[in-house]
Amino acid sequence: MRLFAAFAIPEDIREEIAAWWTAARVHLESWGWRSIPPENWHITLAFYGDVPGAGLNALAEALETEAQLAAPFALTTRGLGVFPTATRPRVFWLGIEEQREPKRLARFARACMRALEAAGKRGGKRREQKQPFVGHLTLARLSGEPFPMEMSVLEDLPAPPTLAWTADELLLYASRLHPEGARYRVLERFPLLGGEA
């Protein structure tokens, strides 16, 4: 079972991003970008890959422990970008930051990634982090071979809205691949119960 840990996007925030994205994505469609359906939007903190059933409970317990120690996150949208690089882009994203302490989100993401080790390495094979964590919401993926992307494309897009909300629970998702795209299912919810950040 392919698993990942993430924050969900509240419905009102999702609707505001979707309204902006409807206008913005027309600037990218001629480049071959394929939009991600809004119902699949989330903020990935850790991707675990295939985790056998024996490791699921241990992973969930480790994530629950991390969630109990973490205070809710005051999140905000900020900036646009591509992964992995502008010369070979694959993913187009909207940036997400923690308002009070920007580095805290990356620390929590690392803690979620370590949860697989805390679970006694009974999960799937851990993916090595090739780049520093960047909080983001994936809006589109590039179909076909990547090609250099002119940064003027980003400059031509309408400015994304500045939106703020509180993430107060960590979700463990299962991902199932289908010809028409991935489908996600929430397996567990863990309230963030820690004190002030």
Q: Per-residue pLDDT tens for 149-174?
A: 777 777 889 999 999 999 999 999 99
The tens digit of pLDDT for each residue in 68-122 reads 999 999 999 999 999 988 888 899 999 999 999 989 999 999 999 999 887 765 4
The tens digit of pLDDT for each residue in 17-55 reads 999 999 999 988 777 888 999 999 999 999 999 988 778
Residue 42 falls in the annotated catalytic set: yes
Those residues with Cβ within 8 angstroms of residue 150's Cβ, 6 or more apart along the chain or in another chain: none
User: Tell me, what's the pLDDT at 121?
Assistant: 56
Catalytic residue, from 6, 20, 42, 192: name it. 42
Nearest to 123 by CA among 44, 67, 185, 47: 47
For residue 118, what are its two tokens? 């805390």
Burial class (CB in 10 A: 0-12, 13-18, 19+), 105: buried
Residue 171: inside a domain, yes or no?
yes
Which residue type sits at 84? P
Catalytic residue, from 136, 138, 153, 170: name it. 136
Residue 178 falls in the annotated catalytic set: no
Residue 132: inside a domain, yes or no?
yes
- Does residue 128 surpass a pLDDT of 60? no
Residue 196: inside a domain, yes or no?
no
Residue 139: inside a domain, yes or no?
yes
- Does residue 125 surpass a pLDDT of 70? no
Nearest to 31 by CA among 151, 156, 142: 142
- Report the CATH number at residue 111: 3.90.1140.10
Secondary structure, 3-state, 34-75: EECCHHHCEEEEEEEEECCHHHHHHHHHHHHHHHHHCCCEEE
User: Tell me, what's the pLDDT at 123?
Assistant: 45
For residue 155, what are its two tokens? 């400059």
Residue 197: inside a domain, yes or no?
no
* Per-residue buried b or exposed e for 26-41, using 16+ beta carbons within 10 Å of the residue's own CB: eebeeeebebbeeeeb
Residue 31: inside a domain, yes or no?
yes
What pTM, to 2 d.p., does this model score?
Answer: 0.89
User: Number of structural domains, the chain?
Assistant: 1
Residue 110 belongs to what domain range?
A: 2-191
User: Tell me, what's the pLDDT at 197?
Assistant: 47
